[in-house]
Structure 1
Amino acid sequence: MTVLSAPAIETRRAQTRRRELGGFLRSRRHRLAPADAGIVPGPRRRTPGLRREEVAAVAGVSLTWYTWLEQGRVGGVSRQVLDSLARALRLGPDEHRHLLELAGEPAAEPRAPAGASREVRDLLAMVEPNLAHVVTRCFDLVAWNAPVEALFRGMPEWPVPDDPNVVRMMFDVPGMRALYPDWEAEARWLTALLRNEAGRQAGNPRFQRLVDGLNATSPEFREYWSSHDLTPFTPSERRFRHPVLGEVTLRYMKLNVESDPDQSVIVHYAPPASAAAAALARLR
């Protein structure tokens, strides 16, 4: 079996991306009607969609260069040219993002976290009295149900601040240390989850601001982050300390939101007929 070196693997990946980029551009060019680009088609037009020279003219690049780009023979395309091609091909936001990813360019800074959809909010209510909340890949807190609010209500810092973030709250909100009996283990685990996202979020200014801010304000986060420990999300158990209920151990799991890949629903739940279930019923 032939073992490729790291540079050879990277070269192969770059070649694959260039081929995928060329195929994507061709597919969008073929799908765009000339009239959509302000072009009046002639009587003998046989090319489906736009011709290469038409895309090149609208995007402001040479025909030869654009031809090479579709053929996978060009690397290192600038962000300005990619944005121009996106406009020329009338790409939507998801298509524009895909174009940038294929070219190895970081996407534009994501919008502020979108609110949870009606269906997701219905789910949050349906799982009560279990705790459920919605987070993004940057761990921004998007929505939560009534039991979550009841759990946190004993904290003097509740309600949460503007633009809440789960990781930032763990380190910056003093009440979190009382809520979690194993605060250090929880904080290390959450930092490792965040570190696990670092590769996917490379070039995301929102993610980088979160990390930079925590490094600047929290010596503990700075220590945990510098260890480079990472962990994927796996279902397990967490302990909470509530001023009325005492200590409660809950299981937790994550559900991905298919309509918004940036969002996930985190559910903390108690097995039926357990002491924890009875405690959650009192919490509600």
Structure 2
Amino acid sequence: MPAPTAGARRRELGAFLRSRRGRVTPQEAGIVPGPRRRTPGLRREEVAAAAGVSLTWYTWLEQGRVNGVSRQVLDSLARALRLGDAEHRHLLELAGEPAAEPPGPATVTREVRDLLAMVEPNLAHVVTRRFDLVAWNAPVDALLRTMPERPSGEDLNVVWLMFHSAWMRERFAEWEAEARWLTALLRNEAARQVGNPGFERLVARLTATSPRFREFWESHDITPFTPSERRFRHPDLGEVTLRYMKINVENDPDQSVLVHYAPPGSPAAEALARLSRA
């Protein structure tokens, strides 16, 4: 499917704003409607005043005639129109702005945690778009327990661990290819997150502390995620080849479930079963 043109995005943004404006009652916005008011929702001038922009500019915005809207103004419009989290994200995407970082620690739903448990003894974990590791199942936990120092905070990030953990280097049979691929994945995602402070902070930390990451990052290689397979080394299980795939969490576009699995009855499946019993 071809990407929408800038003009199509502006028109869709205007249509979305008009639809949300029509759904907010004056009472919800703290406005006392007069006896002769016919507008069911808010008037343009009321939204403009609440968001701190001029009526003319806001009118042009709804008409698809404005190129570029700042994050500050978009957030003000979201408040004025009482948008929910999903609507706010949609507004940002229509305007070409990266979504805001979720406040506080990522929340993993019960359904996603159930999925992690259901795929055992296969390995499954949840990552954000920035590759922060936010949840995992028992087989992954069994692997993490073998790390000399268990990471936490900002270090609990797949890209950071790939370049800073000797344990990770030992586990991947083809570490350099994996590290290049992961860097290209991060750059591909970062292109959609220009201005996102979380992405900028991660890239700055990696660039300052890892010459190999800096080398791979400056090559400007990008790649989309594609299911494939990779080889792992384990001190007790030996070398194991697993397939992997990604499942997007539809009600939280910042999260994905990564599953490493083996065909039933294969030697790799037997190895995973032994790992889960460890």
- TM-score scaled by length of structure 2: 0.90
Choose the corresponding residue for 2:58, options 51, 66, 77: 66
- Is 2:267 the partner of 1:275? yes
Q: 1:209 to 1:68 in 2, by over 3 A?
A: same
Q: Which residue of 2 aligns with 1:186?
A: 178
Residue-by-residue CA offset, 1:219-278 (whole Å, 9 max, x unaligned): 111111111122211111111111111111111111111121111111111111111111
The CA distance in 2 between the partners of 1:82 and 1:267, in whole Å, is 36
The CA distance in 2 between the partners of 1:62 and 1:230, in whole Å, is 41
Choose the corresponding residue for 2:90, options 91, 98, 103: 98
Residue-by-residue CA offset, 1:27-57 (whole Å, 9 max, x unaligned): 1111111111122222222222112232233
Stretch deviating more after TM superposition (133-142 or 39-48): 39-48
How many residue pairs are counted as aligned between the two chains?
273
Choose the corresponding residue for 1:133, options 104, 125, 133: 125
Q: Secondary structure at the match of 1:138?
A: coil
Aligned-residue identity in percent: 78
The AA in structure 2 aligned to 1:14 is A
- Is 2:222 the partner of 1:230? yes
- Is 2:27 the partner of 1:35? yes
Instruction: Identify unmatched segments of 5+ residues in structure 1.
Output: 1-9
Quick check: 1:236–1:252 contact (8 Å CA) kept in 2? Answer: yes
- Is 2:153 the partner of 1:162? yes
- Is 2:243 the partner of 1:246? no
Q: Which residue of 1 aligns with 2:140?
A: 148
The CA distance in 1 between the partners of 2:32 and 2:105, in whole Å, is 41
Q: Secondary structure at the match of 1:198?
A: helix
Quick check: 2:98–2:192 contact (8 Å CA) kept in 1? Answer: no
The CA distance in 1 between the partners of 2:26 and 2:164, in whole Å, is 55
Quick check: 1:124–1:133 contact (8 Å CA) kept in 2? Answer: yes
The CA distance in 2 between the partners of 1:231 and 1:104, in whole Å, is 21
Offset at 1:18? 2.5
Stretch deviating more after TM superposition (60-69 or 164-173): 60-69
- Is 2:62 the partner of 1:75? no
- Is 2:207 the partner of 1:215? yes
Offset at 1:71? 1.9
Q: Which residue of 2 aligns with 1:3?
A: none
- Is 2:166 the partner of 1:174? yes
The CA distance in 2 between the partners of 1:277 and 1:77, in whole Å, is 52
The CA distance in 1 between the partners of 2:89 and 2:146, in whole Å, is 42
Residue-by-residue CA offset, 1:87-138 (whole Å, 9 max, x unaligned): 3222233333333333344444443451321111111111111111111111
Stretch deviating more after TM superposition (40-49 or 227-236): 40-49
Quick check: 1:238–1:249 contact (8 Å CA) kept in 2? Answer: yes
Q: Which residue of 2 aligns with 1:4?
A: none
Q: Secondary structure at the match of 1:142?
A: strand
The AA in structure 1 aligned to 2:256 is S
Q: Which residue of 2 aligns with 1:20?
A: 12
What do you get for the CA RMSD once the two structures are aligned? 2.1
Choose the corresponding residue for 2:250, options 248, 258, 262: 258
Q: Which residue of 2 aligns with 1:46?
A: 38
Offset at 1:84? 3.0
- Structure with greater Cα Rg: 1
The AA in structure 1 aligned to 2:158 is V
Instruction: Identify unmatched segments of 5+ residues in structure 2.
Output: none
